[in-house]
Amino acid sequence: MATGTTEVSVTGDSIEPGQTKSGPISIAGRVGRVALNYLLVLSLFGYYSFGAAMAELGSRSAGYRNAGIVWTIQRFLHLPDEAWLQQMTLADNGLYAVLNRYYAFVHFPASLFFVIWVSVARRDQWKRIAAALSVTTFLYLTIDAVFPVAPPRLYAPAGMVDTLAKFGPDVYGAEAVRSVADQYGAMPSIHFGWSVFVAWGIIQLAPKLGVFRWLAVVHPLMTLAAVTLTGNHYWLDCLVAGLLVPVGIWLTDQWMRRTTPSMRARMRRPLLIAAIPLCLFGLYNISGIFI
């Protein structure tokens, strides 16, 4: 009768044969896994930048046509008129000073802070969160690529004022930003989608904050006001983005449930090789902003 046992270790969310559960994790391996996840995020930015470049080359007319479709659907659903709400508040310069800056400067730093916080404070959830955010963002960018939509500020029938250009800061006036930003990618709103994801993540992963973790809901509410009243997104853009968050999380959970850690480990190298061109494109565009 065999008396030996197979030593196992935890890699992610289950135990792998051949290693000890309590054994030290290779620093190089940990750094490599974290770097791979950040490269995946960078590749998504490269995918986004590629979509922006394609929009500049040939999909402006499609963007205006699809904006008309979104506008018609909104009227059919009797969603509030963004232009009416904007006109009701446009005289309040202080309000738009806040909303414009929230739109321009809070979206990406808040998302980046959340990702870093999870990777440091909730490493047990890092793989799931990184994968879910990547899957959700991929869904956004795919819709953006096949269904470009001009934002309300560029679609004359919407009757909205470009408050960024009127009150500042005019972030889309800078050539470097304009070359990277997909101004015809209003559907869905990545701003709002990421804010919903961040709020969900904080509520789920920060139980020690108690009831205070629900303050995270303020972020998507502020983002909703910032993206719609400034003329950058339609209500429908936000609705679609919000609904895709649980879809992305569900797809990720299904994938992690139906695959083993060893299967996912074997997929890392092909994914990295496939992501390299998009990573390089993303780095090129980032360098154009800061250099």
State phi, psi for 8 to the nearest 5 degrees.
-130, 165
Find tokens 């209003």 and name the residue.
186
Q: What is the pLDDT of residue 115?
A: 86
Q: What is the pLDDT of residue 95?
A: 92
Which of 158 and 33 is assigned the larger pLDDT? 158
Number of structural domains, the chain? 1
Distance CA 208, CA 210 (A): 5
Mean pLDDT of the chain: 79
> In this predicted structure, what is the pLDDT of residue 263?
77
More confident residue, 285 or 198: 198
pLDDT tens digits, residue range 209-222? 888 999 999 999 99
Whole-angstrom distance, CA of residue 167 vs CA of residue 265: 50
Does 33 reside within a domain? no
- Residue 136 placed within a domain: yes
- Joined together, the tokens standing for residue 179 give 């070359």
Mean pLDDT of all residues in 155-183: 76
What is the pLDDT averaged over residues 166-175? Answer: 74
Taking only the tens place, the pLDDT of each residue in 44-82 is 666 666 666 655 555 678 889 999 999 999 999 999 889
Residue 282 has pLDDT above 90, yes or no: no
Residue 90 falls inside a structural domain: yes
- Kindly report the backbone phi and psi dihedral angles of residue 232, in degrees, each rounded to the nearest multiple of 5, phi listed first: -95, -20
- By C-alpha distance, which of 101, 197, 99, 102 is closest to 140? 197
Looking at this protein, which amino acid is placed at residue 7?
Answer: E
In terms of pLDDT, which residue wins out, 287 or 209? 209
- Domain assignment present for 10: no
Q: Tell me which residue range forms the domain holding 85.
A: 40-290
268 or 246: which carries more pLDDT confidence? Answer: 246
Residue 75 domain-assigned? yes
C-alpha 218/C-alpha 16 separation (Å) is 41
237 near 189, Cβ under 8 Å? yes
Query: pLDDT (tens digit, 9 = 90+) per residue, 72-116?
Result: 999 999 998 899 999 999 888 889 999 999 998 998 889 888 988
- Lowest-pLDDT range of 58-72, 143-157, 181-195, 255-269: 255-269
Q: Quick check: is 133 in a domain?
A: yes
Please indicate, yes or no, if residue 214 is contained in any of the structural domains: yes
Residue 256 within any structural domain of the chain: yes
Rounded Cα–Cα distance for residues 155 and 289 (Å): 26
Highest mean pLDDT: which of 56-60, 125-129, 139-143, 243-247? 243-247
pLDDT band at 198 (very low <50, low <70, confident <90, very high): very high
